[in-house]
Amino acid sequence: MNIQIRKLSLKDYNGLIDSMTQAYGGIGGLWTRNNIKDLITLFPDGQLCVIVDSRVVACALAIIIDSQKTDITDPYREIIAGGTFSTHDPEGDVLYGIEIFVHPEFRDLRLGRRLYDARKELCEHWNLKGILVGGRLPKYHENAELTPRQYIDKVKLKEIYDPALTFQLANDFHVKKILKNYLPGDTESLEFATLLEWNNIYYDPKTKAASQTKQTIRLGLVQWQMRTFQDVEAFYEQVEFFVDAVSGYGADFALFPEFFNTPLMGAYNHLPTTEAMRELAKLTEVTKQYIQRLAVSYNVNIIAGSMPFLDEANKLYNVSYLCQRNGRTDEYRKVHITPNETKYYGMYGGDQVRVFDTDCGKVGILICYDVEFPELGRILADQGLKMLFVPFLTDTQNGYTRVRNCAQARAIENECYVAIAGSVGNLPKVNNMDIQYAQSAVFTPSDFAFPTNAVKAEATPNAEMVLVVDVDLNLLKELNRYGTVQNLTDRRRDLYRVSLIK
């Protein structure tokens, strides 16, 4: 027999539901695939399962809550926000167990204890105060002549065996409160339950958890002047100048514009624009590696604008690279290609939309035209987006206005920060890149904690400069929970849904 405890994945869903059905015998509902997907997306570390010979036989699901802001005596459905889990707070202080079960055929293997031990280790790793769980009383209906308190006391004295409460007490949990109407329809428990607590004796309120992230993030936006360069080395020198500048101000992120390397196309101006862009794409890999080294050496995460990229099938893409200061590189391929990109360059659209984990939280990248499609921003928000970076390239004020106004809308509707950075100046020696118009900016949601015009800061229009801006992630958390309006929470999930097809 091979027993393994690991993080739950969506591919485990069918086995999970089979075991849950056997464990509960028809009491309560079953978690949907979307429920499990949401939990794994929000808090992958908290979703655990036990695999026995390739079979899912036990599971523990959890979220993190803020004990000061969450009424832990609320009914179960309210604490999990009706199955949306919007109460999950990655910067909270308590692990809340929302589910644990073991398939009846495997209960003699003490798998429940293994899962609780794994939860305790998780709690210590995240430096949380403790664990809270709501516990059923499945044998209470057989002792209904007793009050809930009398029943609990007899279980503590081992005069009555309750499969749930006895197990939890044996795992160092103590009863904190008796809950009424905790799980409607639970006739075995007569709808009573216990609120149980395990205290983490290693909790240190002065120490941040290893997985917590910074809350005040400094952004450095490069409003790039299009100019001719004598060679690639001169281009690299200009890039390093700006990286050095934003790093000197202690920035966590540096954002460059879309196609900021197109001045290098001047060497291929004698070629048709399609071929010139493909020649430029041959420089992308070495440029990416160069910028990645800058990210590490200057200790700043760099969104390397965007550059053309040729894949193995000889298809041309518009790609942005997130070069992280820990040495990791992620990429995003522009999904929506403009008519001009298709006409002049023959570009293809990417097919992945996802957030990226950084040391400052979850971020997303949308390239220029992409931000004009609200579906992408909403999908990223559902994945936990806090900051959205938009490198753009616009030649006229009309084009810039589209990007700006749509970026502001994404910030408001998705309760996140949006940073946009573009290029300025003229580039007469590169076909189809003649003129530029830009005013880089950082946009916020619109509520009392933010600027009244929802603009955190903006650059001088059409002037080369660096915009350095601090954003506070705590304000997003407060907005999500206590905002005047709550765009994410108040969505009618019973009526509509925005999701990826592939």
* Whether residue 111 sits in one domain with residue 50: yes
502 domain-assigned: no
List the CATH number of the domain containing 402: 3.60.110.10
121 domain-assigned: yes
* Whether residue 309 sits in one domain with residue 181: no
pLDDT in tens, 199-236: 998 888 866 554 445 588 999 999 999 999 999 999 99
Could you say which of 120, 288, 334, 362 is catalytic?
334
Extract the runs of DSSP E, i.e. beta strands, from 76-120. Answer: 94-102
* Whether residue 55 sits in one domain with residue 193: yes
* Whether residue 246 sits in one domain with residue 150: no
Of the candidates 273, 281, 123, the residue with the CA atom closest to the CA atom of residue 201: 123
Contacts of 419 (CB under 8 A, 6+ apart): 219, 221, 253, 255, 387, 388, 389, 390, 440, 441, 442, 443, 469
* Whether residue 185 sits in one domain with residue 42: yes
Picking from 137, 166, 199, the residue at the C-terminal end of a domain is 199
499 domain-assigned: no
Contacts of 375 (CB under 8 A, 6+ apart): 498
Dihedral sign of CA atoms 122, 128, 130, 131 in order: negative
206 domain-assigned: no
Of the candidates 432, 427, 413, the residue with the CA atom closest to the CA atom of residue 490: 413
Write down the H helix ranges in 282-367. 284-297, 339-340
Predicted pLDDT of residue 278:
96
Q: From CA 240, how far away is CA 9, in angstroms rounded?
A: 41
209 domain-assigned: no
208 domain-assigned: no
Bridge-based pairing of strands 361-365 and 387-391 is parallel
pLDDT in tens, 324-374: 987 889 999 999 999 999 999 999 999 999 999 998 999 999 999 999 999
498 domain-assigned: no
Domain that holds residue 368: 216-482
Q: From CA 429, how far away is CA 370, in angstroms rounded?
A: 28
Q: How many domains does the chain have?
A: 2
Bridge-based pairing of strands 216-225 and 423-424 is parallel
334 is catalytic: yes
* Whether residue 66 sits in one domain with residue 175: yes
Confidence of residue 478 (pLDDT cuts 50, 70, 90): confident
List the CATH number of the domain containing 10: 3.40.630.30
Predicted pLDDT of residue 75:
75
* Whether residue 225 sits in one domain with residue 133: no
78 is catalytic: no
Could you say which of 323, 368, 406, 416 is catalytic?
368
* Whether residue 223 sits in one domain with residue 180: no
Picking from 199, 225, 256, the residue at the C-terminal end of a domain is 199
Could you say which of 49, 59, 123, 258 is catalytic?
258
3-state secondary structure of 218: strand
* Whether residue 416 sits in one domain with residue 280: yes
* Whether residue 286 sits in one domain with residue 355: yes
Evaluate whether 49 touches 100 at the Cβ level (below 8 Å).
no
Predicted pLDDT of residue 122:
92
pLDDT in tens, 243-279: 999 988 889 999 999 999 999 998 898 899 999 999 9
* Whether residue 246 sits in one domain with residue 182: no
Predicted pLDDT of residue 30:
80
- Asked if the model's pLDDT at residue 44 lies above 80, the reply is yes
Picking from 199, 226, 250, the residue at the C-terminal end of a domain is 199
